[in-house]
Every structure is written in C-alpha cells, then in structure tokens.
Amino acid sequence: MIEAKVETARVLRDPVLLLAFGFGSGLARRAPGTVGTLAAVPLYLLLELLGTSLYLVAVFIVIVAGVWICGRAAEKLGVHDHPGIVWDEFAGLFVALIPAGGHWMAVATGVILFRLFDIWKPWPIGVIDRRVGGGAGIMLDDLLAALPAAAGVALVAHLGG
C-alpha cells in the first residue's frame, strides 16, 4: 500500500480521489469503509431535507457518478477496489436509508445493517464483488448490500413511525 503521507497528499490534491475517498474519510487507517459510511450520515441528513423525490434524484446522481469516480480512482491508484475508495459506501448507505424518513432509529439501523451486509457479502453480493470489475463492480456490491439493509430500515421506520 502507498505510504499514508503520500497517499493523503495525493488524495487531497486530486478531485477524483478526494470524492472517491469520501472527502478524506477513506484515509482512515482502520475500517475505512465504516468511517466512510459514518461520514455519509451528515450528508444523508442534508439530502433527506430535500424531500423524497429530490432525494431519489440525488441518490441516482451519486450512483451514476460513482461508477465513473470509483473506476477512475481505481485506475489512478492501480488497485481494483482500494480500501480507501468509499464513494460506494456513501451510495450504498443512501440507498439503504431511502425508507428511513429521517427517523434516528431507522438511520442507526441502516448504518449497522448496511455495514454488516457489506462486510459479510452473502450470496450473490460476494460473487458479484469477485466477478464484476471496474467502477460498476466497485459500486454494485455495496448497492446490493444496501437492499436487505433497506428492508430492515423500512421495518424499523414503520414500527417507529
């Protein structure tokens, strides 16, 4: 792996890497995916204020841009899915939190379930993670992990609301 100081400077200088590394959250030495997911929560809370329709448009834009951002970052770093690339965690969390409606318990549930499914990678998530390359592959496993997490979020939001 690239020395941390060099990597930090490179990430902060390069707009693509800065986005891919979740505005620097992916630079965390331990559990960058979890740190990236937690860094996405305040952005979720801001986006959630837009209302459902605009939130969904924003999530769509994050996903489409993420395929390019993650793919380009992987090319620049010479590593298919560098652990510091966490834009996919942002996108996955935003999908997982679609049914949350801003309820704090649903948001907390979404963070926990999303991380569990993203780390565990049950079938077919793990298969796709291993077989699909490029930016689409980096994004897809997180988007798939978001789906069962979203089901748990919907349940919690329904019970809490």
Q: Which residues contact 80 (CB under 8 A, 6 or more apart)?
A: 74, 133, 137, 138
pLDDT attached to residue 99: 98
User: What average pLDDT does range 28-57 have in this prediction?
Assistant: 97
pLDDT attached to residue 161: 56
pLDDT band at residue 4 using 50, 70 and 90 as cut-offs: very low
pLDDT attached to residue 160: 80
Whole-angstrom distance, CA of residue 79 vs CA of residue 76: 8
pLDDT attached to residue 2: 41
Look at the chain and report how many structural domains it folds into.
1
Q: Mean pLDDT score of the chain, rounded to an integer?
A: 93
Write out pLDDT tens, residues 46-86.
Answer: 999 999 999 999 999 999 999 999 999 999 999 888 999 99
* pTM for the model: 0.93
Residue 64's domain comprises: 4-160
Residue 83 CA neighbour count, 13 Å, CB half: 14
pLDDT attached to residue 125: 82
